[in-house]
Amino acid sequence: MFDLPLNSLKAFVAVYESGGIRPAARQLGVAHSSVSRHLRELEKWLGIDLFERHEGTRALAFSPQGEALGRAGGESLKTLALAVKAIRETPRRNSVVLSTTPSVASLWLLPRLPSFQKAYPGIELSVTAEQKLIDPSDNRADLAIRMGNGPWPRLICDPLMDDELYPVLSPTLWKKAGKPTKPEELKHLPLLHDRDPNTPWTLWLAAHSGLDMDTNTGPRFSSSDLVLRAATQGLGVCLARGRLAADEIASGGLIKPFGDRHITLANAYWIVRSPYAPENTAVRPVTTWLKKQAQSKTAELVFSE
């Protein structure tokens, strides 16, 4: 697809629809000489005359090619304007966009949003899920929750909460495996792996079992929500982040076979935001609410009658 002289086409369509160069200039907010220049450049680029020029008259008349381009250009610009309007998000003073990973969004944040709506009915909290850390030059999000070893340079970073790592599996697999309760019984269970570098099996095994196990075996999953889902399906035992597995454990979908044997991850989650983001007064109550939620490991369940 070749490059189009969009500014010149826009000027020509304005002339076509307004009927003259001066009214087109007023519509575009530019000098009429600028519109005339765009018209000359467009005709030169096309290699044809868009206007019929008759000696002794200054009336504006379009050539057949000019008529065709004016009609097509006008319709195309209107279609483009409607498409842009449909997808453009206009920020409002009571609107906050929160970015986080898909795992945190689905397993920790979304179950708590009814609590947020109840506490702050005047704030519209939108959630975007993506793996990457927000960039200071990217203002699509007002703030983000991220897992990892912060703080990160060029971002305002505030620790949100710690986490715990412990093995979990489905009740069905636990019963099928003979109801194991001792770490050494992991030898008889298939291991599931999260590709998160902060949650390797070797970390927990070194602290609680002393087992010399081959941790290279077993399927690997690209996110915490996927590996937890695999565990609920009875595919094996996974090393879970307690913050993300808490609600599934509370509902009975997963169990902790080895009691309170866990590894603590200090400052495992952070609230981060760009120092260059425009000021939004609704961000502070969202941050306050997030920190309050971090004090509880399970979400407040809201049931409708």
Give the Cα-Cα-Cα angle 19, 22, 26 (nearest 5 degrees). 105
The four Cα atoms 188, 193, 197, 198 give a dihedral, to 10 degrees, of: -60
192 or 29, higher pLDDT: 192
Quick one: 71 and 159 in the same domain? no
List C-alpha distances in Å: 129 to 96, 134, 147, 158, 232: 14, 11, 13, 19, 22
SS3 96: strand
Q: Which pTM value belongs to this model?
A: 0.69
Give pLDDT, residue 61: 85
Mean predicted lDDT score pLDDT of the chain: 86
Q: Which domain range does residue 240 map to? A: 89-305
Total count of domains within the chain: 2
Q: Given this model, what pLDDT does residue 302 score?
A: 35
Q: Higher-confidence residue: 134 or 97?
A: 97
Band (305; pLDDT cuts 50, 70, 90): very low
Statement to judge: residues 268 and 134 lie in one domain: yes
- 252 and 130 co-located in one domain: yes
pLDDT band at 141 (very low <50, low <70, confident <90, very high): confident
Both 231 and 292 in a single domain? yes
- For residue 273, the surrounding DSSP H or E stretch is strand 263-273
Check pLDDT > 60 for residue 90. no
| Residue 1 included in any domain | no
Of the residues 85, 115, 134, the one at which a domain ends: 85
- Give Cβ neighbours of residue 124 (< 8 Å, ≥ 6 apart): 92, 94, 95, 96
Same domain, 144 and 30: no
| Higher per-residue confidence, 221 vs 55 | 221
In a domain, 299, yes or no: yes
Burial class of 122 by CB neighbour count within 10 A (0 to 12, 13 to 18, 19+): exposed
Dist CA 183 CA 260 (whole Å): 12
